[in-house]
Structure 1
Amino acid sequence: MLKHPGIAAVLSFFWTGVGQIYNGQILKGILLIILQVVNGLLMFILIGFITYPLVWIWGIYDAYKTAERMNRNQTYY
Protein backbone atom coordinates (compact mmCIF):
# COMPACT_ATOMS: atom_id res chain seq x y z
CA MET A 1 0.00 0.00 0.00
CA LEU A 2 1.41 3.38 -0.99
CA LYS A 3 2.04 5.91 1.77
CA HIS A 4 1.86 9.63 1.15
CA PRO A 5 5.09 11.23 2.45
CA GLY A 6 3.35 14.58 3.02
CA ILE A 7 0.71 13.02 5.25
CA ALA A 8 3.37 11.16 7.23
CA ALA A 9 5.33 14.40 7.73
CA VAL A 10 2.26 16.42 8.77
CA LEU A 11 1.19 13.75 11.25
CA SER A 12 4.66 13.83 12.82
CA PHE A 13 4.59 17.62 12.81
CA PHE A 14 1.51 17.66 15.01
CA TRP A 15 2.46 14.67 17.17
CA THR A 16 5.90 13.11 17.01
CA GLY A 17 5.70 9.40 16.26
CA VAL A 18 2.29 9.34 14.59
CA GLY A 19 3.86 9.61 11.12
CA GLN A 20 5.90 6.50 11.88
CA ILE A 21 2.75 4.69 13.03
CA TYR A 22 1.03 5.77 9.78
CA ASN A 23 3.97 4.22 7.90
CA GLY A 24 3.48 0.95 9.76
CA GLN A 25 6.43 1.37 12.13
CA ILE A 26 4.35 0.95 15.28
CA LEU A 27 7.18 0.29 17.75
CA LYS A 28 9.28 3.15 16.40
CA GLY A 29 6.32 5.52 16.67
CA ILE A 30 5.53 4.50 20.24
CA LEU A 31 9.18 4.89 21.22
CA LEU A 32 9.27 8.38 19.73
CA ILE A 33 6.13 9.35 21.63
CA ILE A 34 7.65 8.08 24.88
CA LEU A 35 10.93 9.87 24.10
CA GLN A 36 9.10 13.15 23.59
CA VAL A 37 7.30 12.75 26.92
CA VAL A 38 10.71 12.29 28.57
CA ASN A 39 12.05 15.31 26.66
CA GLY A 40 9.09 17.33 27.88
CA LEU A 41 9.98 16.42 31.45
CA LEU A 42 13.62 17.28 30.78
CA MET A 43 12.56 20.85 30.07
CA PHE A 44 12.50 21.32 33.84
CA ILE A 45 16.28 20.98 33.83
CA LEU A 46 16.63 22.92 30.54
CA ILE A 47 18.20 20.14 28.42
CA GLY A 48 14.72 19.36 27.07
CA PHE A 49 14.69 22.70 25.26
CA ILE A 50 17.46 21.27 23.08
CA THR A 51 16.45 17.61 22.80
CA TYR A 52 12.70 18.12 22.23
CA PRO A 53 13.00 20.13 18.99
CA LEU A 54 15.81 17.91 17.70
CA VAL A 55 13.73 14.74 18.10
CA TRP A 56 10.65 16.53 16.73
CA ILE A 57 12.44 17.65 13.54
CA TRP A 58 14.09 14.25 13.10
CA GLY A 59 10.69 12.55 13.50
CA ILE A 60 9.20 14.67 10.72
CA TYR A 61 12.16 14.01 8.42
CA ASP A 62 12.19 10.28 9.19
CA ALA A 63 8.45 9.87 8.58
CA TYR A 64 8.73 11.62 5.20
CA LYS A 65 11.82 9.74 4.02
CA THR A 66 10.49 6.37 5.23
CA ALA A 67 7.24 6.84 3.29
CA GLU A 68 9.25 7.74 0.18
CA ARG A 69 11.48 4.69 0.61
CA MET A 70 8.47 2.41 1.16
CA ASN A 71 6.87 3.70 -2.04
CA ARG A 72 10.08 3.15 -4.05
CA ASN A 73 10.36 -0.42 -2.79
CA GLN A 74 6.70 -1.18 -3.54
CA THR A 75 6.34 -3.96 -6.12
CA TYR A 76 3.58 -3.75 -8.70
CA TYR A 77 1.84 -6.80 -10.14
Structure 2
Amino acid sequence: MNMMKSPGLAAVLSFLIPGLGQIYNGQIFKGLIIIAIQAVNILLMAILIGYVTYFIFWVYAIYDAYRRADKDNKRAGARR
Protein backbone atom coordinates (compact mmCIF):
# COMPACT_ATOMS: atom_id res chain seq x y z
CA MET A 1 0.00 0.00 0.00
CA ASN A 2 1.44 3.34 -1.05
CA MET A 3 0.99 6.21 1.35
CA MET A 4 0.18 9.63 0.01
CA LYS A 5 3.17 11.97 0.00
CA SER A 6 3.00 15.70 0.53
CA PRO A 7 4.44 17.47 -2.53
CA GLY A 8 4.95 20.60 -0.41
CA LEU A 9 6.90 18.71 2.24
CA ALA A 10 9.00 17.00 -0.42
CA ALA A 11 9.86 20.39 -1.93
CA VAL A 12 10.70 21.91 1.48
CA LEU A 13 12.93 18.97 2.36
CA SER A 14 14.83 19.39 -0.92
CA PHE A 15 14.99 23.13 -0.29
CA LEU A 16 16.70 22.47 3.03
CA ILE A 17 18.94 19.63 1.84
CA PRO A 18 18.90 18.88 -1.90
CA GLY A 19 18.09 15.19 -2.33
CA LEU A 20 16.19 14.81 0.93
CA GLY A 21 12.85 15.26 -0.84
CA GLN A 22 13.71 12.42 -3.20
CA ILE A 23 14.55 10.21 -0.23
CA TYR A 24 11.19 11.16 1.35
CA ASN A 25 9.52 10.11 -1.91
CA GLY A 26 11.21 6.71 -1.75
CA GLN A 27 13.85 7.47 -4.38
CA ILE A 28 16.75 6.64 -2.08
CA PHE A 29 19.43 6.18 -4.74
CA LYS A 30 18.43 9.33 -6.64
CA GLY A 31 18.45 11.33 -3.40
CA LEU A 32 21.90 10.08 -2.46
CA ILE A 33 23.20 10.92 -5.95
CA ILE A 34 21.85 14.48 -5.68
CA ILE A 35 23.44 14.86 -2.24
CA ALA A 36 26.78 13.63 -3.67
CA ILE A 37 26.53 16.01 -6.65
CA GLN A 38 25.86 18.92 -4.31
CA ALA A 39 28.90 17.96 -2.22
CA VAL A 40 31.01 18.14 -5.37
CA ASN A 41 29.39 21.47 -6.27
CA ILE A 42 30.36 22.85 -2.86
CA LEU A 43 33.97 21.90 -3.62
CA LEU A 44 33.65 23.53 -7.05
CA MET A 45 32.71 26.80 -5.39
CA ALA A 46 36.45 27.29 -4.93
CA ILE A 47 36.66 27.91 -8.68
CA LEU A 48 33.32 29.78 -8.84
CA ILE A 49 31.49 27.40 -11.24
CA GLY A 50 30.13 25.59 -8.17
CA TYR A 51 27.89 28.56 -7.37
CA VAL A 52 26.11 28.10 -10.70
CA THR A 53 25.94 24.31 -10.68
CA TYR A 54 24.87 24.16 -7.02
CA PHE A 55 21.98 26.54 -7.69
CA ILE A 56 20.89 24.62 -10.81
CA PHE A 57 20.85 21.25 -9.01
CA TRP A 58 19.21 22.81 -5.95
CA VAL A 59 16.30 24.14 -8.03
CA TYR A 60 16.10 20.83 -9.91
CA ALA A 61 15.93 18.84 -6.66
CA ILE A 62 13.10 21.01 -5.32
CA TYR A 63 11.10 20.78 -8.56
CA ASP A 64 11.72 17.05 -9.01
CA ALA A 65 10.72 16.19 -5.42
CA TYR A 66 7.47 18.16 -5.71
CA ARG A 67 6.63 16.75 -9.15
CA ARG A 68 7.35 13.15 -8.15
CA ALA A 69 5.24 13.29 -4.97
CA ASP A 70 2.37 14.85 -6.92
CA LYS A 71 2.67 12.28 -9.71
CA ASP A 72 2.76 9.37 -7.24
CA ASN A 73 -0.30 10.74 -5.41
CA LYS A 74 -2.26 11.05 -8.67
CA ARG A 75 -1.27 7.51 -9.65
CA ALA A 76 -2.27 6.17 -6.22
CA GLY A 77 -5.58 8.03 -6.41
CA ALA A 78 -6.35 6.56 -9.82
CA ARG A 79 -5.90 3.02 -8.45
CA ARG A 80 -8.57 3.50 -5.79
TM-score by length of 2: 0.93
Instruction: List runs of 5+ in structure 2 lacking aligned partners.
Output: none
Deviation digits for residues 6-39 of structure 1, max 9, x if unmatched? Answer: 0000000000000000000000000000000000
More helix by share: 2
Instruction: List runs of 5+ in structure 1 lacking aligned partners.
Output: none
Alignment of 1:69 with 2:61, yes or no, is no
CA RMSD of aligned residues (A): 0.5
Aligned residues: 76
- 2:11 aligned residue: 9
2: CA distance between counterparts of 1:18 and 1:59?
9
4+ residue runs over 3 A deviation: none
Identity level (%): 55
